[in-house]
Amino acid sequence: MRTKGAIGIFDSGIGGLTVAREIANLMPNERLVYLGDTARLPYGSKSSSTVIKYALRNVGFLAKTPLKAIVVACNTVSSVALPALREMVDIPVLGVIGPGARTAVQASRSGIIGVIGQPGTIKSGRYESAILQLNSDAKVYSTTTPLLVPLAEEGWLNTEVSKLVLKSYLEPLVSRGIDTLVLGCTHYPLFKPEVEALCKDEFQRDVALVDSAVSISRELKGMLERDGLLNPHPAPVHRFYATDDVDTFKRVGQAFWGQDFPQVLHVDL
């Protein structure tokens, strides 16, 4: 029965665990199979053809398990690889860009929206085009914020350094008058409290933060509900795979997943 199939999720590494965590919280009966391609991260600085190649390999691996949907947690992959991935499998493949853009357009009163992300995501212009498709009057200002990924992985949250980095990155966007900011990378939800405080106390601006992990989880739930595919019985023995060292995955991933990992297996792809 398809309701029993798992939800496949993949990312370049551990960042996508922020998406997995939201899905697990919102749909506690669902079983997740998560793949972190830690051997090849970061994806954000690589060319789109390389990212597509890696993404196809990841989906090929996940598709060996009976799945009801595949969630592309990685913003970089979602920006460039969805058409190729959708051709590869005959189950729904959801990316984070569309859900994040829809939430941003709903949240913004002025239509002036900021987007931050890894270089590949920003270079693709995908968030911008998705937002403009929904509101052609919107103004979108985007910037790359690559230092946030290592800061999050090193656990340097709420430090003098993270505050300084966030302030330098966000000041130019806030000065353009954004009232909404899309956190266009798997790692950024960890900075939400800091960004909120910065906007309120330092910039004295009310800026709505869009967490694509939350947006995609809601859309996935809506889709599974509509298709009668939500699992009525609890079955959450999640499985995690990493293409590099599993102990590092567990140690660094803890802050992203927010709880202990049941089991992490190594896979060579």
Binding positions for ligand DGL, rule: CB under 6 A: 11-13, 15, 41-44, 74-76, 118, 121, 149, 185-187
Q: Measured from the CB of residue 148, what is the shortest distance to ligand DGL in angstroms?
A: 9
Question: Which of these is catalytic: 14, 35, 74, 81?
Answer: 74
Q: Measured from the CB of residue 240, what is the shortest distance to ligand DGL in angstroms?
A: 16
Q: Which of 236, 237, 262 is nearest to 249 (CA)?
A: 262
Q: Measured from the CB of residue 45, what is the shortest distance to ligand DGL in angstroms?
A: 7
Residue nearer to ligand DGL on the CB measure, 67 or 148:
148
Q: Identify whether 185 is a catalytic site residue.
A: yes
Residue nearer to ligand DGL on the CB measure, 121 or 231:
121
What angle (nearest 5°) sits at the alpha carbon of residue 149, between those of residues 56 and 32? Answer: 45
Q: Identify whether 199 is a catalytic site residue.
A: no
Read off φ and ψ for residue 137, nearest 5 degrees: -90, -5
CA-CA distance, 14 to 111, in Å (whole number)? 32
Q: Measured from the CB of residue 183, what is the shortest distance to ligand DGL in angstroms?
A: 10
Residue nearer to ligand DGL on the CB measure, 13 or 253:
13
Nearest residue to ligand DGL, using CB?
44
Which residue is listed with tokens 């992990």?
A: 213
SS (H, E, C) 130-191: HHHHHCCCCEEEEEECCCHHHHHHCCCCCCHHHHHHHHHHHHHHHCCCCCEEEEECCCHHHH
Residue nearer to ligand DGL on the CB measure, 41 or 229:
41
Q: Which residues are catalytic?
A: 74, 185
